[in-house]
Protein backbone atom coordinates (compact mmCIF):
# COMPACT_ATOMS: atom_id res chain seq x y z
CA UNK A 1 0.00 0.00 0.00
CA UNK A 2 1.36 3.42 -0.94
CA UNK A 3 2.48 5.66 1.89
CA UNK A 4 0.06 8.56 2.22
CA UNK A 5 0.88 12.12 3.11
CA UNK A 6 1.14 13.28 6.69
CA UNK A 7 -0.15 16.74 7.52
CA UNK A 8 2.64 18.07 9.71
CA UNK A 9 2.15 21.83 9.80
CA UNK A 10 5.58 22.27 11.37
CA UNK A 11 7.08 21.07 8.09
CA UNK A 12 5.06 23.49 5.94
CA UNK A 13 7.18 26.61 6.13
CA UNK A 14 6.40 28.36 2.85
CA UNK A 15 3.28 29.59 1.06
CA UNK A 16 2.03 29.17 -2.48
CA UNK A 17 3.14 32.76 -3.12
CA UNK A 18 6.73 31.86 -2.22
CA UNK A 19 6.53 29.04 -4.77
CA UNK A 20 5.00 31.36 -7.37
CA UNK A 21 7.77 33.91 -6.80
CA UNK A 22 10.37 31.20 -7.27
CA UNK A 23 8.90 30.25 -10.65
CA UNK A 24 8.56 33.91 -11.67
CA UNK A 25 12.22 34.51 -10.83
CA UNK A 26 13.23 31.50 -12.94
CA UNK A 27 11.08 32.75 -15.80
CA UNK A 28 12.76 36.17 -15.62
CA UNK A 29 16.23 34.64 -15.69
CA UNK A 30 15.42 32.42 -18.65
CA UNK A 31 13.29 34.88 -20.67
CA UNK A 32 10.24 32.63 -20.50
CA UNK A 33 6.76 34.18 -20.36
CA UNK A 34 4.75 33.17 -17.32
CA UNK A 35 1.09 34.15 -17.02
CA UNK A 36 -1.27 33.69 -14.09
CA UNK A 37 -2.74 30.60 -15.78
CA UNK A 38 0.71 29.04 -16.12
CA UNK A 39 1.79 29.89 -12.58
CA UNK A 40 -1.28 28.06 -11.25
CA UNK A 41 -0.32 24.87 -13.06
CA UNK A 42 3.35 25.03 -12.04
CA UNK A 43 2.40 25.47 -8.38
CA UNK A 44 -0.08 22.62 -8.65
CA UNK A 45 2.56 20.24 -9.99
CA UNK A 46 5.07 21.43 -7.38
CA UNK A 47 2.55 20.52 -4.69
CA UNK A 48 2.06 17.10 -6.32
CA UNK A 49 5.81 16.47 -6.56
CA UNK A 50 6.31 17.35 -2.89
CA UNK A 51 3.47 15.08 -1.79
CA UNK A 52 4.93 12.18 -3.74
CA UNK A 53 8.55 12.67 -2.72
CA UNK A 54 8.25 14.01 0.83
CA UNK A 55 4.78 12.86 1.99
CA UNK A 56 3.83 16.35 3.10
CA UNK A 57 2.34 19.40 1.37
CA UNK A 58 4.73 22.02 0.05
CA UNK A 59 2.25 24.73 1.13
CA UNK A 60 -1.16 24.87 2.84
CA UNK A 61 -3.24 26.68 0.22
CA UNK A 62 -5.86 24.56 -1.59
CA UNK A 63 -6.56 23.99 -5.27
CA UNK A 64 -10.04 23.80 -6.72
CA UNK A 65 -11.14 22.21 -9.99
CA UNK A 66 -12.01 25.10 -12.31
CA UNK A 67 -12.85 25.04 -16.00
CA UNK A 68 -9.26 25.74 -17.05
CA UNK A 69 -7.65 23.27 -14.64
CA UNK A 70 -6.50 23.37 -11.00
CA UNK A 71 -6.69 26.85 -9.49
CA UNK A 72 -5.80 28.25 -6.08
CA UNK A 73 -8.48 30.93 -5.48
CA UNK A 74 -6.20 33.07 -3.29
CA UNK A 75 -3.56 33.19 -6.00
CA UNK A 76 -6.15 33.76 -8.73
CA UNK A 77 -7.47 36.83 -6.92
CA UNK A 78 -3.95 38.17 -6.48
CA UNK A 79 -2.81 37.74 -10.10
CA UNK A 80 -6.05 38.01 -12.09
CA UNK A 81 -5.45 41.67 -12.97
CA UNK A 82 -2.53 40.57 -15.16
CA UNK A 83 -4.87 38.81 -17.59
CA UNK A 84 -2.71 37.34 -20.35
CA UNK A 85 0.18 39.71 -19.57
CA UNK A 86 3.39 37.99 -18.40
CA UNK A 87 4.10 38.34 -14.69
CA UNK A 88 7.63 39.61 -14.12
CA UNK A 89 7.64 41.10 -10.62
CA UNK A 90 7.84 39.07 -7.44
CA UNK A 91 5.52 40.09 -4.62
CA UNK A 92 7.99 39.61 -1.76
CA UNK A 93 11.61 38.60 -1.14
CA UNK A 94 12.29 34.92 -1.66
CA UNK A 95 12.55 32.96 1.60
CA UNK A 96 15.40 30.64 2.44
CA UNK A 97 14.15 27.46 0.78
CA UNK A 98 15.36 24.14 2.11
CA UNK A 99 16.67 21.32 -0.08
CA UNK A 100 13.30 19.59 -0.35
CA UNK A 101 11.60 22.80 -1.54
CA UNK A 102 14.23 23.34 -4.22
CA UNK A 103 14.03 19.70 -5.28
CA UNK A 104 10.25 19.76 -5.79
CA UNK A 105 10.10 23.16 -7.49
CA UNK A 106 13.19 22.73 -9.63
CA UNK A 107 12.14 19.32 -10.94
CA UNK A 108 8.75 20.70 -11.98
CA UNK A 109 10.38 23.66 -13.69
CA UNK A 110 12.75 21.38 -15.60
CA UNK A 111 9.82 19.39 -16.96
CA UNK A 112 7.09 22.00 -17.41
CA UNK A 113 8.77 25.42 -17.39
CA UNK A 114 9.13 25.64 -21.17
CA UNK A 115 5.49 24.68 -21.87
CA UNK A 116 2.87 27.36 -22.47
CA UNK A 117 -0.15 27.84 -20.24
CA UNK A 118 -2.70 26.20 -22.55
CA UNK A 119 -0.55 23.08 -22.93
CA UNK A 120 -0.28 22.82 -19.15
CA UNK A 121 -4.04 23.26 -18.90
CA UNK A 122 -4.50 20.41 -21.39
CA UNK A 123 -2.19 18.14 -19.39
CA UNK A 124 -3.97 18.80 -16.09
CA UNK A 125 -7.28 17.97 -17.78
CA UNK A 126 -5.95 14.46 -18.41
CA UNK A 127 -5.15 13.87 -14.74
CA UNK A 128 -7.62 12.15 -12.41
CA UNK A 129 -7.44 14.62 -9.47
CA UNK A 130 -8.81 17.46 -11.62
CA UNK A 131 -11.19 15.25 -13.63
CA UNK A 132 -12.76 13.65 -10.56
CA UNK A 133 -13.26 16.97 -8.76
CA UNK A 134 -14.55 18.69 -11.92
CA UNK A 135 -17.07 15.92 -12.52
CA UNK A 136 -18.55 16.64 -9.07
CA UNK A 137 -19.37 20.27 -9.87
CA UNK A 138 -22.92 21.55 -9.49
CA UNK A 139 -22.81 24.17 -12.27
CA UNK A 140 -21.88 23.24 -15.85
CA UNK A 141 -19.10 25.82 -16.24
CA UNK A 142 -18.18 26.67 -12.66
CA UNK A 143 -16.36 24.37 -10.28
CA UNK A 144 -15.37 25.04 -6.69
CA UNK A 145 -14.68 21.47 -5.60
CA UNK A 146 -11.41 21.10 -3.71
CA UNK A 147 -8.79 18.80 -5.25
CA UNK A 148 -7.76 16.77 -2.24
CA UNK A 149 -4.14 16.23 -1.31
CA UNK A 150 -4.76 12.52 -1.00
CA UNK A 151 -6.15 12.26 -4.54
CA UNK A 152 -3.09 14.11 -5.83
CA UNK A 153 -0.63 11.91 -4.02
CA UNK A 154 -2.33 8.63 -4.90
CA UNK A 155 -2.56 9.53 -8.59
CA UNK A 156 0.90 11.01 -9.06
CA UNK A 157 2.61 8.19 -7.20
CA UNK A 158 1.42 5.99 -10.05
CA UNK A 159 2.38 8.47 -12.78
CA UNK A 160 6.01 8.13 -13.86
CA UNK A 161 8.34 11.09 -13.66
CA UNK A 162 5.92 13.68 -12.28
CA UNK A 163 8.80 15.94 -11.42
CA UNK A 164 10.75 15.35 -14.58
CA UNK A 165 13.98 14.42 -12.80
CA UNK A 166 15.35 12.88 -15.99
CA UNK A 167 14.34 15.72 -18.27
CA UNK A 168 17.13 17.87 -19.75
CA UNK A 169 17.38 21.34 -18.30
CA UNK A 170 16.57 24.18 -20.69
CA UNK A 171 15.88 26.99 -18.25
CA UNK A 172 19.40 28.30 -17.73
CA UNK A 173 22.64 28.51 -19.61
CA UNK A 174 24.35 25.80 -17.58
CA UNK A 175 27.90 27.08 -17.88
CA UNK A 176 26.92 30.57 -16.74
CA UNK A 177 25.14 29.21 -13.69
CA UNK A 178 28.01 27.00 -12.68
CA UNK A 179 30.55 29.77 -13.16
CA UNK A 180 28.46 31.94 -10.87
CA UNK A 181 28.64 29.28 -8.15
CA UNK A 182 32.31 28.54 -8.59
CA UNK A 183 33.48 32.05 -9.43
CA UNK A 184 31.16 34.23 -7.38
CA UNK A 185 30.24 36.55 -10.25
CA UNK A 186 26.83 37.15 -11.72
CA UNK A 187 27.15 36.63 -15.50
CA UNK A 188 26.60 39.78 -17.53
CA UNK A 189 23.76 38.06 -19.38
CA UNK A 190 21.79 37.95 -16.12
CA UNK A 191 22.36 41.48 -14.89
CA UNK A 192 19.81 43.26 -17.08
CA UNK A 193 17.11 40.74 -16.16
CA UNK A 194 17.98 39.89 -12.59
CA UNK A 195 18.97 43.12 -10.90
CA UNK A 196 16.23 42.55 -8.29
CA UNK A 197 17.87 39.36 -7.03
CA UNK A 198 20.83 39.00 -4.71
CA UNK A 199 23.76 36.74 -5.60
CA UNK A 200 22.65 34.43 -2.82
CA UNK A 201 19.18 34.07 -4.31
CA UNK A 202 20.61 33.40 -7.74
CA UNK A 203 22.93 30.82 -6.21
CA UNK A 204 19.95 29.08 -4.63
CA UNK A 205 18.25 28.85 -8.00
CA UNK A 206 21.34 27.35 -9.54
CA UNK A 207 22.35 24.98 -6.76
CA UNK A 208 20.55 21.97 -8.20
CA UNK A 209 22.27 22.53 -11.52
CA UNK A 210 25.61 22.71 -9.75
CA UNK A 211 24.82 19.36 -8.19
CA UNK A 212 24.35 17.88 -11.64
CA UNK A 213 27.83 19.12 -12.54
CA UNK A 214 29.31 17.12 -9.70
CA UNK A 215 29.68 19.78 -7.01
CA UNK A 216 28.89 18.45 -3.55
CA UNK A 217 26.22 20.04 -1.40
CA UNK A 218 28.96 21.02 1.06
CA UNK A 219 30.85 22.89 -1.65
CA UNK A 220 27.68 24.59 -2.83
CA UNK A 221 26.82 25.73 0.69
CA UNK A 222 30.38 26.93 1.28
CA UNK A 223 30.32 28.89 -1.96
CA UNK A 224 26.94 30.42 -1.12
CA UNK A 225 28.24 31.42 2.31
CA UNK A 226 31.25 33.09 0.70
CA UNK A 227 29.01 34.97 -1.75
CA UNK A 228 26.85 36.06 1.20
CA UNK A 229 29.89 37.43 3.05
CA UNK A 230 31.16 39.24 -0.03
CA UNK A 231 27.81 40.95 -0.52
CA UNK A 232 26.97 41.68 3.12
- The structural domains of the chain, with segments of one domain joined by +, span 9-166, 172-232
Kindly report, residue by residue over 14-25, the tens digit of the pLDDT.
999 999 999 999
For residue 184, what pLDDT is reported? 46
Give the pLDDT band of residue 11 (cuts 50, 70, 90). Answer: low
**pLDDT value at residue 162:** 62
Q: Alpha helix locations (H) across 33-172?
A: 36-54, 73-79, 99-112, 117-125, 128-135, 149-158
* Rounded CA Rg of the chain: 18
- Decide: pTM greater than 0.75: no
Decide if pLDDT at 214 tops 90: no
- Mean pLDDT across the stretch 144-172? 68
State how beta strands 64-66 and 69-71 pair: antiparallel
Residue in 224, 119, 153, 166 with CA at minimum distance from that of residue 5 = 153
Mean pLDDT over residues 222-227, rounded? 61
pLDDT band, residue 1 (cuts 50/70/90) = very low
Tell me the percentage of the chain whose pLDDT exceeds 90: 46
Amino acid sequence: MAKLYRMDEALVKITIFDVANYFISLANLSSIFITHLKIQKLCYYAQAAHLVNYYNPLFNEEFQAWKHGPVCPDMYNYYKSYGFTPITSISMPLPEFDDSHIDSMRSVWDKYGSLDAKELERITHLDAPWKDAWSSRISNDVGQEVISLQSMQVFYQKKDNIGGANMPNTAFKMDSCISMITGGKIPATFKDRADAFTPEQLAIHCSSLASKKGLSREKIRARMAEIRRQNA
